[in-house]
Structure 1
Amino acid sequence: MATEAEKTSADISKNPFSGENIDPRRQIALNLTVIARLLRNNFDRKVATLNVTRSQWTLIAVVSRNPGATQRVIAEHLEMSEASAGRLIDRLCAEGLLIRRDRKDDRRARAIYLTEAATPLLEQLHQIATASEDRMFSHFSVEEIDQLKDFMARIYENVSRG
């Protein structure tokens, strides 16, 4: 007969979201952490065939949503130092995926843009993301997704207040 520790270990490996004696709020917080890690890891595995790292694809995604952003803004979005963001931008510029341009409103800052060469990569990233989202939200109705979106917005607001 299995010991209590073996039963608990087996339960966790089957479903990390089961937890009979855990406060539901704690369980949800843990679930969000696990889901975020799984999403990142699954996406990383799928984009590995494109020879792009997590840092690179996240930076490309940030620039695609914020064309003309400065290195400082990009670093803030990626939660990294400006120096680290600068090195990553330099690498992607050398690969021909990004370009720096002077800003008319601030001579000291440079604006970062995607190049035409980044378009096929961005399209492939988009396809992988769409397939992942389709799988993640299968068996959810539009109404359930809208409700979840509202819940997540409320959680974000609460967490972002510190």
Structure 2
Amino acid sequence: MDSEFRHWGLRLGYLIHDVSRLRRVNFDRELAPLGITRSQWWVLAFISRNNGLPQTQLANELDVGKVALGSLIDRLQQGGFVTREPDEKDRRVKRVFLTDNARQLLNDIEPVSSDFNGRILEGVSLEDIKSTSRMLAKMKENLIVLSNGNRSKGGAEDDDLD
């Protein structure tokens, strides 16, 4: 790896970190008037695509500790956004479901999120967004391989991002 590549790779890492942090902070600010945090929204959005998942599987899918997720689910349940229901086959397993209140909140958040994304992507071309998305998907894929203890390079590209 040459020095210019190392320089830009390091710069990219810092930018990814800074953009992610700033996006989280600012999105929390955008959601505050709706009475929800970005973390709660993230859980609700995931559940909306996987309604009825067992709580332990939800923790695994979100890569969040069971205790941390349990606290988030507690707050969401107290707010009337989710219910926990026992699994039909194993009563020890709790499945998490969205309520109508959560569906309405997600509908209310959509224009806020869309407007926010439009503002942070102002001046960025669609081609740049696509290219960066492909690059980040590949980096994510490589990181997943590394986290699984495999140091091999390569892999399928994420065609869904074209």
Assess same fold via TM > 0.5. Answer: yes
CA shift for structure 1 position 105:
4.8
**C-alpha deviations, 1:54-102, integer Å up to 9, x for none?**
3322221221122111211222244332122223212221221101223
Alignment counterpart, residue 48 of structure 1, candidates 32, 37, 58: 32
Partner of 2:55: 71
Name structure 2 gaps, 5 residues minimum.
Answer: 147-162
Stretch of structure 1 that moved more, 110-119 or 49-58: 49-58
- Tell me whether 1:111 sits opposite 2:80 in the alignment: no
Tell me if the contact between 1:43 and 1:128 (Cα under 8 Å) persists in the aligned partners: no
CA distance in 1, matches of 2:10, 2:102: 41
Larger Rg over CA atoms: 1
- Tell me whether 1:132 sits opposite 2:111 in the alignment: no
Which runs of at least 4 in structure 1 moved beyond 6 Å after TM superposition?
none
CA distance in 1, matches of 2:103, 2:17: 31
Q: TM-score, normalised by structure 2?
A: 0.77
Percent of aligned positions with the same letter in both sequences? 32
- Tell me whether 1:95 sits opposite 2:117 in the alignment: no
CA distance in 2, matches of 1:147, 1:92: 36
Query: How many residues end up aligned between the 2 structures?
Result: 142
Letter in structure 2 aligned against 1:91:
R
SS at match of 1:111: strand
Alignment counterpart, residue 10 of structure 2, candidates 19, 26, 29: 26
Tell me if the contact between 1:60 and 1:114 (Cα under 8 Å) persists in the aligned partners: yes
Alignment counterpart, residue 44 of structure 2, candidates 60, 63, 73: 60
> RMSD of the TM alignment (CA)?
2.1
Tell me if the contact between 1:100 and 1:112 (Cα under 8 Å) persists in the aligned partners: yes
CA shift for structure 1 position 23:
0.7
CA shift for structure 1 position 135:
1.7
Name structure 1 gaps, 5 residues minimum.
Answer: 1-19
CA distance in 2, matches of 1:124, 1:41: 20
CA distance in 1, matches of 2:111, 2:7: 38
CA distance in 1, matches of 2:9, 2:75: 42
CA distance in 2, matches of 1:45, 1:108: 37
